[in-house]
Structure formats: C-alpha cells, structure tokens
C-alpha cells in the first residue's frame, strides 16, 4: 500500500510539473505582458437635454487650436534596410568587379577557400575580411602597378555566403543568405518550426565566434552570412521526454 501511494504521488508530481512548465512558457512567449486598462475603459457621457436647432448652432464649441510641430522635435525614423557598408567579405561571397572602359577585366568573381579572388592580369587578390570599398582600392592599386593608367574600379556584392540552420525546423540545412535577413525569415526559409520547437528564442553562433548567443525570435534579430542558427526543443517536450520513460517504469508498480 505504501509503495502504491508513493508511485502515484511521484507520477502526478511529474505531470503537474509538466503543466506548470508549459504555462510558464506560454506566459514568456506572449509579447503582451501588460494591458493598459485605462486605455480600454470608456466612460459614458452624461445625458444632456436636447436643444432646439437654433440653439444648437449657437452652442457649437469652437474648434480647438493645434500647436505647430517643430520638425527638430520629431522622432527620427529608423534607417531603411540597405546593403551594409562595413560588410566583410568571406569565403563563398560573389562580387561583381567593374573596371571602367575595360570589359575584359570586369565580371563576377567568387572568394575562394584561400580568401582570394582570381582576376585577369593581376592574378590573386586578397579579399577575405575586406569591405567592398577596401577591395576596390586593392584592385585599383594592382592594376595601376604596370597595367593601366589611373584605373577606376567598383565592387558590388552579388551574392552572400550561406547561413546554416539546424534543430527543430522542418528542413534543416544550408541556405543562401538574403540581404537584411531576420530570424523569422531564416526560419521560414527552413520550412518553419516543428511541433516540438521553442518559438520564443533561438541560438545563433556568428561566423568565427566560439559561443552561441540566445536571441529572441522577432523582426529585430538579424541573421548574418555564415551564421549557424539552432532552434531548440521547447521545455515541455524536454520534460515529457524524461517523464514518459519514468512513468512507463512506475505505472506497472501500482499493481
């Protein structure tokens, strides 16, 4: 009889802990932590006697004057999404190099595993870790060193190196990066969350970093080329995966 009671207490304690953890995750996942009740409460106006039409014209309130808005006091708008000026090139990035009036020297080139570009005439040019502006100067300097007089060069990033996503998504793997990609867009590209996924936070390891960052899943979380994104299992599923084997052992003991 004692063993029967202890078994049931342990089983129901595990189930209760699972429900509590689930409720806590739902509360944390909700973006609306508080509600302003004052903004939702309206007070019915006091009843007033109905005036004749002649008196209604004279009793109409004068329009309120609005104060002029100083443009200097208006809040600044967030900057539009554009190609990042200080973006650092890396292996797998493809750039379009334009040498003005030299079509044979222009074209698309990919940063290879050694971090260099192979260009006509000048051969290998180091590109890894450089911005597009710095690469322009390097190519111009190389072309001016015995090949062209005052060369004019422009460099534009055509496609970025891929990012990687794993864990609780429907199609984990390697995907091409799009400029300005957010966490929600990256998860959408990978087929969305699985049923077991935690949809509140993700873990991102930036290229070259040793540790992951825990970041919220929203439009403000940016994904960069070369990032590794990991979607973890939700806490309730982790608890159930532990409780299920335990219950399969304890339930037969009740008999």
Q: Which pLDDT tens digit goes with each residue over 103-136?
A: 999 999 999 999 999 999 999 999 999 999 999 9
pLDDT band of 183, cuts 50, 70, 90 = very high
How confident is the prediction for the chain on average, in pLDDT?
74
Residue 229 Cα to chain centre, angstroms: 10
pLDDT at residue number 86: 75
- Mapped to the 3 state alphabet, what secondary structure does the chain carry? CHHHHHHHHHHHHHHHHHHHHHHHHHHHHCCCCCCCHHHHCCCCCCCCCCCCHHHHHHHCCCCCCCCCCCHHHCCCCCCCCCCCCCCCCCCCCEEEEEECCCHHHCEEEECCCCCEEEECCCEEEECCCCCHHHHHHHHHHHHHCCCCCCCCEEEEEEECCCEEEEECECCCEEECCCCCCEHHHHHHHCCCECCCECCCEEEEECCCCCCCEEEECCCCCECCCCCEEEECECHHHHHHHHHHHHHHHHHHHHC
pLDDT band of 52, cuts 50, 70, 90 = low
Residue 103, helix vs strand vs coil:
helix
Distance CA 135, CA 154 (A): 9
pLDDT at residue number 60: 46
pLDDT band of 31, cuts 50, 70, 90 = very low
Overall fold of domain 94-159: wza like fold (3.30.1950)
Domain boundaries, the chain: 1-25+235-255, 94-159, 163-233
Q: Does residue 207 register a pLDDT over 70?
A: yes
pTM beyond 0.85: no
pLDDT band of 18, cuts 50, 70, 90 = low
> Which is the CATH superfamily of the domain at 163-233?
Outer membrane lipoprotein wza domain like (3.10.560.10)
Q: Does residue 5 register a pLDDT over 90?
A: no
Q: Does residue 184 register a pLDDT over 90?
A: yes
Q: Does residue 195 register a pLDDT over 50?
A: yes
Q: Does residue 139 register a pLDDT over 50?
A: yes
pLDDT at residue number 202: 95
pLDDT at residue number 234: 85
- 163-233 shares the fold of 94-159: no
Average pLDDT of span 214-242: 85
């Amino acid at each position: 009889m004692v063993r029967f009671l202890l078994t049931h207490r342990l089983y129901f304690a595990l189930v209760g802990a699972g429900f509590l953890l689930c409720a806590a995750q739902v509360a944390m996942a909700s973006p609306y932590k508080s509600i302003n009740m004052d903004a939702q409460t309206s007070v019915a106006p006091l009843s007033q006697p109905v005036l004749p039409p002649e008196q209604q014209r004279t009793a109409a309130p004068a329009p309120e004057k609005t104060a002029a808005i100083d443009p200097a006091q208006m809040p600044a708008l967030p900057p539009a999404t554009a190609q990042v000026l200080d973006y650092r090139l890396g292996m797998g990035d493809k750039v379009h190099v334009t040498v003005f009036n030299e079509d044979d020297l222009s074209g698309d080139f990919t940063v290879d595993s050694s971090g260099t570009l192979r260009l006509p005439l000048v051969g290998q040019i180091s590109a890894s870790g450089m911005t597009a502006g710095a690469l322009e100067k390097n190519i111009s300097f190389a072309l001016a060193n015995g090949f062209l007089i005052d060369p004019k060069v422009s460099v534009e990033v055509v496609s970025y190196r891929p990012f990687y996503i794993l864990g609780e998504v429907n199609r984990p793997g390697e995907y091409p990066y799009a400029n300005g990609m957010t966490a929600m867009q990256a998860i959408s590209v990978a087929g969305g969350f699985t049923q077991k996924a935690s949809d509140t936070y993700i873990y991102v390891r930036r290229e070259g970093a040793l540790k992951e960052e825990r970041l919220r899943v929203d439009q403000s979380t940016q994904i960069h080329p070369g990032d590794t994104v990991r979607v973890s299992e939700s806490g309730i599923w982790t608890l159930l995966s532990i409780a299920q084997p335990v219950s399969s052992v304890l339930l037969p003991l009740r008999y």
